[in-house]
Amino acid sequence: MIRCTVKMDGDLLRELQNLGAAAKPRAKKILSAMVFGVVVEARRLAPDDPTGATPDLRESIRGAVKNSRGGVRGSVIAGGIPLDAKLAAEHRKNPAASEIYAVVQHEDTTLRHARGQANFVGQPFMEMLPWVAEEFDKELLSARA
């Protein structure tokens, strides 16, 4: 299973904490938009062989934004339970096959597919980070005004 998570610390976290109760909803709004954007792009980039017998990795990509102790956590996940049924139907007995499959497809840049690529979660995740920083700056400026 692939999981990318945003965890805030340092100056940004301190400034958000200074906002008090208003911080979590603002952070959740920004992280929700980020996670949604990463999921859409990751599904577009995920390896897929439409004529082959490989599991549909694209359908297993999902996001979650949750309140956590002291803040908000946004995650994008590929693999895991959504792939289990597909792999079981293909008679793969390894209970961790769904997690292994997602990791190999994400990390191995030598694999070739009819469409898609490796680093299908990491790339859009990293591309969204500058936008997230800008959105937090905007929220902090509007909160100070």
pLDDT at 85: 65
User: Quick one: DSSP state of residue 46?
Assistant: S
Cα separation of 108 and 99, whole Å?
14
* Nearest alpha carbon to residue 1 among 92, 107, 91: 107
More confident: 109 or 13: 109
Q: Is the pLDDT of residue 143 over 60?
A: yes
Q: pTM higher than 0.85, yes or no?
A: no
What is the CA 46 to chain-centroid distance, rounded? Answer: 12
* Domain range list for the chain: 2-144
User: Quick one: DSSP state of residue 73?
Assistant: E
Q: Is the pLDDT of residue 1 over 60?
A: no
pLDDT at 111: 85
The phi and psi torsions of 6 (rounded to 5 degrees) equal: -95, 125
E strands present in 1-145: 2-6, 62-68, 71-78
Q: Give the tens place of pLDDT for each residue, 84-128.
A: 666 666 655 565 666 677 888 888 888 887 788 999 999 999 999
